[in-house]
Amino acid sequence: MRRSRSVLAGGVLALAAAFLVFAPLGLKPYGIFILSMWAVMTIAAIGLNLTLGYAGQISLAQAAFVGIGAYITAYLTTKGWPFWSTYLFGGASCFAIGWLLGYPALRVQHHYLAFVTLAFNTLVYLIFRNEEWLTGGIYGISNVPRPSVLGWSMNGAREFYYFCLAHLALVSAATWWLTRSPWGLAFVALRENPIRALSLGVDTRRYTLMAFALGAGLGGISGALYAPLVQFIDPTPFALGLSLNLLLMVVLGGSGYFFGPFLGAIVAVLLPEWLRFTQGFYLMGYAVLVMIMMAFSPGGLLGLADRLTRPAPRTGTGAVAGSPEAARSEGAG
Amino acid sequence: MADILQLLVAGLATGGIYALVAVGFTLLWQTSQTINFAQGEFVMLPAFFVLIGMSYFGLPFWPAVALGGVVSVVVLGLAFKRLMVDPMIRHGVLPLVIATIGLAILMKEAVREFYGADAWPFPALGATTDVTVFGAVFDVQSLLILAICIAVVVALQLFLGGTVTGRCMQATAQNPTVARLLGIRVERMILYTFLINAALVWVASLLITPIYLAKFTNGEWLGLYAFIAAIIGGFNQARGAIAGGLLLGVVDNFAAAYISSQYRTAIPLLILIVVILFRPQGMFGRIEERTV
Amino acid sequence: MRRSKFVLAFATLMLLSGAAAADVKFAYVGEISGSIAVSGGNFRDGAVLAVEEVNAKGGILKQKIVLTLYDTQTNPGVARSQMQKAIDGEPYVILGPIFSGNVKVTMQMVQQAEIPDFIGGEAAELTTLGSTYLFRTSFGQQIGMPKIANYIRDELKAKTIALIWVNNDFGKGGRDKLIKELTARNIKLVADVSTESGQVDFAADVVKLKAANADAVFVYSNEEECARIMREARKQGLKGPFVGDTTLLSQKTIELAADAANGVVGHVGLTADAPIPAVAAFAARFQKRFNYKPDHNGIKGYTAVYAVKFVTEKKLGKFDRKGLAKTMHGLTITPQDEPGILMETTWDNAGEIDRISFLAEVVNGKQNISKVLPKLGK
C-alpha cells in the first residue's frame, strides 16, 4: 500500500514536471505570463511555508519582503546593475531585515505575531508609497529590464518563464535539503511541541528566528523575479492583500507539506484566471472554498489527499514523503 | 483651542465606535478563542441590511433599522457561531482565523456583486445640525455618537457585572472548565457573546455609516483599527478595549492634524508594535498564562 | 444595483451572436471591479453604447464590432495579465485602462504590440513617456490645471490656496501640476494635505485646512472622498470658496454630498451637463439604455469608439493599426465630420487631447455650466 502511494505521488510529480517544461511551447504569451507568475508566487509561498508550516509562526509580512526584493531589483537594474547581484542583494537584505524584525517580534505569542507582522507590512507599504526619492513613490519604477544569462537575453516571455522555473527548481531543491537536514527536524520539533523541544536542548529562539528570516529571504528572491516579470513596480501589489493571499495559499495547499505552496499557488494564481468568466463570483467561490476547507480539512488540499489515500492503520505510518507526519516520525526517532 | 476641542470631540466620537467594535471582538476572543478577522465587515454589513429593508421592502427608516438588527443578530451572531465557529474551533485557532479571512472576502464581494460597488448615502440617526461652544463648532452627530457609545458600553458593563447571566459569562471567559464544573451552561454563555457582538456591530454600523457612506470596502480599515484598539487596551479585558478605542480615535486624529498626513496610518501601527513588544497584555489586560 | 451587470451580459451576448468571420475586434481592458469600478463601468458602458449604435448602422467598413471585456480589478498586476490576454486576441484597438497606474504598467506591452490604445487615464505623465500608440480620451492634468489656475487667479482673485488631495498617482499628479501652475502665477500654497484613497474620516484634515486660512480651498480626490470632504468641511464651518476639477463637481459627488456640494466651483473637462445638444442627446440615450446618468467616463468611452470609426472609414479606408496611430497624431475631428465625437477634439503627437472645457458651479444640487473655456491650441 505504501509503495502504491509513493508510486501515485511520483506519477503525479512526473506529469506536473512534464507539463511545466513543455506547456509553454503550446501557450500564448498570456498563458506563459500566468505560469511565470505562478512560479514566482510559489517561491514566496515556499518561504512562508517555512515560517508557518514548519516553524509554526503566523507571518503577515511576506508581501513586504516580496516588495523589498522587487524594489531593490527594480531600482538597481534600472541603474544598470546586473541581475544576479540584485537578487543576491535583495534576498540577503530581506533575510537580514527578517532577522532584525523577528528578534523582538518572536517573543510574543502567535496571534500577536500576526498583528506585528501585519503592522510591519503596512508600514513598509507606506514607506514605498511616500518616499518618492527612493522608490518613485506612487509613480513607481517603470521599464524594469529583464536579465540576460551568459549573453542570452531573457526578454521573451518563454525565456523568462524558464528562468523563473529554474529559480523555482533551485529554491525547491534547497528547501528540500533543508527540511531533511537536522535544521529541518528542529523546525518541526518547534512546531509540534516547543516546550519539549526546549527540554531536549533545541535553541528554540535561534531556530524560530532562522525559519522566519529564511522565509523572508525567499520572499525577497520572489520579489526580485517579480520585478522583471511585470516590468513596472509600484506600491499597490505589496499591501496587506498579498500577505493574506500568500497565507491563504500556504494553508489551502497544506501548511507544513513540502508541495503545499505549489498547490496553493495554483489555486490562488491559476484558478482565478481560468474562472475569470465568472467575474465577481470567482472571489466568492474562492472564499467559500477556503472556509469549507478549513472546516473539514485544516491540513489543506494535501492534508485531504493524505487522508483520502491513507491506508487502513497497520504497522508503519504510511506517511507520504514530505508530509508533516513523515517529518514527525523521522524526527521522533 | 477651538481646534483642539474639535479634534478631541471628533476623535472621541470615532474612538467610541472603535471601542464598540473592539469590545465585541474582545468578548469573542475571551469566551471562545475566536479571532474574528471579519469584524470590520461585520460592521459594514448591517447598514446594507437596513438599506435593503428600505429599498426592496419599502420600509420606513426605523422599522428597517429594527429589521437590520434582527437580521444582524441572526446572521452575524447565531449563524456565524453555529455554522462557522463551532465546526472549526476544534481544529485550533489558525484554521478559524483563516476561515474568518475567507468570510471577510465573501461578505465584501457579496455586497459588491449583489448590491453594487458604489457608495450610498445613509440616513443619520439624529439631527445633523451644529452647536457652537467656546467658538468651536461641534456637530450634534459626533456628540450623539459619543453619548450612544458610552451608554451602550455602560449598559454592557452593568449587564456583565450586575446580572447573574453576565457574571456567568465572565466566569466562562475566565475559566471555561471551572465554569462548567460549577454548572454554568458554557455553550449558552458563548452563544450570548456572539449575539452581543452582533448587536454591538449593528449599533456601530448605524453610527458610522452616515459619515462613511455605505460601501462594501468600509470594513477594511475599521477592522484593523478595532484590532489595534483591542490590543492596545488589553485583549482580555472589555474595559481595556473601551479605553483602547477612545485613545486610538483621539491619537489618530491628533497625529493626522499635527504630524505628517502621509504617514497618518503609521502612527496607530507603531503604537501597536510598541505595545505588543513591550506590554503585550495592553494597558489593562492581564498577562496571559501559557497553557502547557 | 447590479442592473448594469445583466445589461452587460445581454450586450455581450448580442454582440457575440452577431459575430461572423469578418468582424473587427475591440478590446476593453478596464476597471470593472475594484476601487474605481464606477469609473471603469461608466467608460465601458459608453463604449458599449457606441458599439451598439455603430453596429446598428452596419459597423465599420461593413464589419461589425465585437467588444471583449477584460477586468483589471484596479490592480496593476492583474492589469498586466489581462492586457496580455487581450493582446493575444489580436484586437484592432484597445480601450482603457482608466486607472493611471494600470496604464503605466501596460504601456510598454501595447507599444510593442503596436495596437492603438484609447486610455481613460488622466495622470499627467502618461503622455510624456514616449508612447506612440497611446491616445487620451480626456485631458491630461497638464492641460486642465493651467485653465483652472487661470480661473483662480483671474476670477477668484485668490492669493493663497489650501490644497487637499488623494495620495495616488491621479491625485499626486494633479497636485504636482497644480503647484507648478500656481507658483508660475505667484499664488502661494499655504496648506498641502494628503489623504488616503478610500479614507473616510476627514476631521483632522479639515482642521488643518482651517488653520491655513487660505483664500480658497482646492479639493482634488475621488468622487466619494470629495463628498466626504465637503460634508466635513461644511460641518466644521470651513469657509470656501471651494474649487476643484471634474471629480469635485461630478454627479456622484453631488449625490453623495447633498447640500454640502452647493457652491463649489471648478473646471470640468467633460460633463454630461455641457450646454451642447449632442452631449445632452448622448446623455439621454445612455440614461435610457443603462438606467443611470453617465459621468465623464461614459463620454470618454463613447467618443473613443467613434474616433476609431471615423479615422478607419474616412481617413484610411482599411483596417490598419499603424496607420490609425499615425493619422491620429495631429488630427482634429469635428462633430460635422463625425457626430459621435460630440465635441471638436484634437490630438497631438504625444496622444494628448485638446478640447473646449467648462467652468461650472454646483447650484441646488445640479452642475451649472457658467463659462466655456476655449481650446488651448486656438
Residue C197 pairs in a beta bridge with none
Residue C344: closest CA among C280, C270, C283, C273: C270
Does C194 sit within 8 Å of B262, measured CB to CB?
yes
CB B228 within 8 A of CB B248: yes
Distance CA B217, CA B144 (A): 25
Answer with the residue of higher pLDDT: C213 or C12: C213
Q: How confident is the model at residue C8 (pLDDT cuts 50, 70, 90)?
A: low
User: Residues A300, A257: contact at Cβ < 8 Å?
Assistant: yes
Does the beta carbon of C236 lie under 8 angstroms from any beta carbon of chain B? yes
Instruction: Please provide the distance, in angstroms rounded to a whole number, between the alpha carbons at the two ends of chain C.
Output: 43
DSSP symbol at C339: G
pLDDT tens-digit series, residues B254-279:
888 888 777 888 888 998 888 888 88
Outline where B76-233 has alpha helix (H). 86-89, 93-114, 140-162, 164-174, 176-181, 186-212, 219-233
d(CA B256, CA B263): 8
Angle between helices B2-32 and B140-162 (to 10 degrees): 30
Across the interface, do B276 and A115 touch by the CB < 8 Å criterion? yes
Q: How many CB pairs under 8 A join A and C?
A: 63
Number of domains in chain A: 1
A252 within domain boundaries: yes
Summarised one tens digit per residue, pLDDT across range A218-228 is: 999 999 999 99
The dihedrals phi and psi of C165, each to the nearest 5 degrees, come to -145, 155
* Pick from A67-71, A316-320, B30-34: least confident: A316-320
| pLDDT tens-place string over residues C210-254 | 888 899 999 999 888 899 899 888 877 888 799 998 889 888 888
Backbone angles phi, psi at C200, to 5 degrees: -115, -25
Q: Do B95 and A283 touch (CB under 8 A)?
A: no
Give the distance from residue B35's alpha carbon to the nearest chain C alpha carbon, in angstroms: 25
Q: Are residues B263 and A126, on separate chains, in Cβ contact within 8 Å?
A: yes
Section B118-134 average pLDDT:
77
- pTM of the shown model: 0.85
Evaluate if residue B133 carries a pLDDT over 80.
Answer: no
Considering only CB atoms, which chain B residues are within 8 Å of A135? Answer: none
* Bond into A235 cis (ω within 30): no
B84, B94, B102 member nearest A58 (Cβ): B94
B117, C38: Cβ pair inside 8 Å? yes
The sign of the CA dihedral A8, A11, A16, A19 is negative
Comparing alpha-carbon positions, the chain B residue that sits nearest to C254 is: B121
Please report the pLDDT score of residue C229 as a whole number.
92
Please tell me the distance from the alpha carbon of residue C299 to that of residue C105, in angstroms, as a whole number. Answer: 24
pLDDT, position A328: 47
The H or E element containing residue C369 is strand C366-373
Cell 469600478, residue? Answer: C37
C-chain residues within 8 Å CB-CB of B217?
35, 198
Please give, one letter per residue, the 3-state secondary structure of C188-222.
Answer: EEEEEEEECCCCCCCHHHHHHHHHHCCCEEEEECC
Inter-helix orientation angle A280-296/A240-254, to 10°: 50
Residue B106 has pLDDT above 60, yes or no: yes
Cβ of A123 within 8 Å of Cβ of B96? The answer is: no
Residue A136: inside a domain, yes or no? yes
Rg (C-alpha) for chain A, rounded Å, is 20
C-alpha cell of residue B37: 478577522
| Among C84, C167, C173, beta carbon nearest to A33 | C84
Instruction: Report chain B's mean pLDDT, rounded to a whole number.
Output: 85
Is C225 within 8 Å of chain B by CB? no
Residues of A with CB below 8 A from B35's CB? 111
Share of chain A above pLDDT 90, in %: 29
Task: Provide CB contacts within 8 A for B188, sequence distance 6+.
Answer: none
CATH of the domain at A314: 1.10.3470
- Residues C279-298: pLDDT tens digits? 999 999 999 999 888 888 99
Tell if the CB–CB gap between B280 and A120 is shorter than 8 Å. no
pLDDT for residue C67 is more than 90: yes
- Quote the pLDDT of residue C97: 94
Answer whether B114 sits within 8 Å of C2, measured CB to CB: yes
Distance from CA of B113 to the nearest CA of A (A): 6
Query: Mean pLDDT lowest for which of A101-110, B79-88, B195-204, C240-249?
Result: A101-110
In a domain, A192, yes or no: yes
Domain that holds residue A280: 32-332
Q: Which three cell numbers stand for residue B75?
A: 446572521
Res. C9: pLDDT tops 70: no
Confidence at residue B39, expressed as pLDDT on a 0 to 100 scale: 93
Cβ-Cβ contacts under 8 Å, C194 against chain B: 261-262
Whether residue A280 and residue B112 make contact (CB cut-off 8 A), yes or no, is yes
What is the per-residue pLDDT across A53-112, written as a single tens digit (0 to 9) for each? Answer: 888 788 999 999 999 999 999 999 988 888 888 889 999 999 999 999 888 877 777 677
Contact A298 B92 (CB under 8 A): yes
Q: Which residues of B touch C38 (CB under 8 A)?
A: 117-118
Burial (0-12, 13-18, 19+ Cβ within 10 Å), B52? middle
How are beta strands C160-166 and C353-354 bridged, if at all?
Answer: unpaired
Residue C68 has pLDDT above 60, yes or no: yes
- For chain C, list residues whose CB is within 8 angstroms of any CB belonging to chain A: 32-33, 71, 75-77, 80-81, 84-85, 87-88, 101, 104-105, 107-108, 125, 129, 167-169, 172-173
Cβ–Cβ of B217/C194 closer than 8 Å?
A: no
Are the Cβ atoms of B102 and A244 closer than 8 angstroms? no
What distance lies between CA A325 and its chain's CA centroid?
21
- Segment 258-317 of chain C within 8 Å of chain B by CB: 258
Of all residues in chain C, the one with the smallest CA distance to B137 is C236
